[in-house]
Structure 1
């Protein structure tokens, strides 16, 4: 896993979010447990959307170490756009040579480039997203 930072704890139990309620639930659970959390969104959501979502969740649940990861698959253009939008981290699974160039760009923007990530908890359809996140994050 290529990263531009050494903080692997925040990427250990990622949570896939689909909206503001998911993000707030994940941060509330992380706050209750005193652990960091990474919110993962599909590239189609866009870097600006993820950044705004995370900013709003941080305002609602202050003091939580949280980061946003845009899952760009093998699409380098999406990864570059996400980094330009100011996301905390990008997941890129394309060719290693391209990943190395993206890692340089990420480092310049103080972001992380990930080439792998543990399977996230997906909150789509969760009846009680905060409880699901608490159980997921507690299992570190």
Structure 2
């Protein structure tokens, strides 16, 4: 019988980012709202990239509670490396037995392991343009103000 991974709180209203600009726009939207911010990196982002973005966001917005969520897909090795690097939350959609092992490792690191993607805001749909930053901030403000996904 496969053990069920421990239940950890789902990171609040994640925003899928693909650049530092996306992350900073999300932070500018979250700070005046007084909400926490969960920045989610796509599978290609990587643990060190996400941690670097979080560091920049925290320096730019020191009063904002921010955390990171890394999408590792079905790559258990990447998930284990991300936990070792200090990523606070992971999404792993691979084999349940691997998820069980990763859940134990995550618990030992004080991290969160998700096996299903929570509702999120994906900023990729926003095209380039001179007012892109303002549009991203508005999208993030609306997303963070919602009661549900």
Q: Shared topology, TM-score over 0.5? A: yes
Alignment partner of 1:39: what SS? strand
Q: TM-score, normalised by structure 2?
A: 0.83
Residue 136 of structure 2: aligned partner: 129
Do the aligned partners of 2:14 and 2:39 also contact (CA within 8 Å) in 1? Answer: yes
Q: Deviations over 1:35-87 (max 9, x none)?
A: 11211111221101100101101110112121111101111111111112211
Alignment RMSD (CA, Å): 1.8
- Structure-2 change in CA distance of 1:2 and 1:65 (3 Å): farther
Residue 103 of structure 2: aligned partner: 103
Q: TM-score, normalised by structure 1?
A: 0.88
Alignment partner of 2:124: what SS? coil
Q: Which runs of 5+ in 2 are unaligned?
A: 127-131
Q: Distance in 2 between matches of 1:44 and 1:84?
A: 18
Q: Distance in 2 between matches of 1:3 and 1:40?
A: 21
Alignment partner of 1:68: what SS? strand
Rg (Cα) greater in structure: 2
Do the aligned partners of 1:15 and 1:123 also contact (CA within 8 Å) in 2? Answer: yes
Do the aligned partners of 1:24 and 1:57 also contact (CA within 8 Å) in 2? Answer: yes
Instruction: Specify which of 5, 16, 41 is matched with residue 8 of structure 2.
Output: 5
Q: Deviations over 1:3-57 (max 9, x none)?
A: 6634x4xx24210001111111112211111111211111221101100101101
